[in-house]
Amino acid sequence: RKEVEQDPGPFNVPEGATVAFNCTYSNSASQSFFWYRQDCRKEPKLLMSVYSSGNEDGRFTAQLNRASQYISLLIRDSKLSDSATYLCVVGHNDMRFGAGTRLTVKP
């Protein structure tokens, strides 16, 4: 089993749609969780950290379920500029990257 697993997609959604990505991780001792955004062949950039209580940043909401070892990212009111690959990352000093979920937002 991979340490971090994501649905690779692709997700093709219209502008304005709400889309959710899921990620599962295998190491129950993990303490740090992040969502990164990666544009084509660019370095991944931190989108948001994921906190135990769940957290929101504008149109983006991240949630963590430790019992199920599951992380989610919800994007509301999708914009064309949200088209990218979203990477789930677990760990801090010893980061493990998921393979990413590709999102395409269409007009």
Partner 1 sequence: GAVVSQHPSWVICKSGTSVKIECRSLDFQATTMFWYRQFPKQSLMLMATSNEGSKATYEQGVEKDKFLINHASLTLSTLTVTSAHPEDSSFYICSAENQETQYFGPGTRLLVL
Give me the residues that bind partner 1 (CB under 8 A), please. 2, 8, 36, 38, 40-46, 85, 87, 93-97, 99-100, 102
Please report how close the Cβ of residue 67 comes to partner 1 at its closest, in angstroms: 25
3-state helix, strand, coil in the chain (%, to 5): 5, 50, 45
**Nearer to partner 1 (CB atom), residue 44 or residue 78:** 44
Please report how close the Cβ of residue 45 comes to partner 1 at its closest, in angstroms: 6
**Nearer to partner 1 (CB atom), residue 29 or residue 67:** 29
Please report how close the Cβ of residue 107 comes to partner 1 at its closest, in angstroms: 22
The terminus-to-terminus CA distance of the chain in angstroms comes to: 37
DSSP assignment letter at 92: S
Torsion of Cα atoms, 69 then 19 then 46 then 68, to 10°: 0
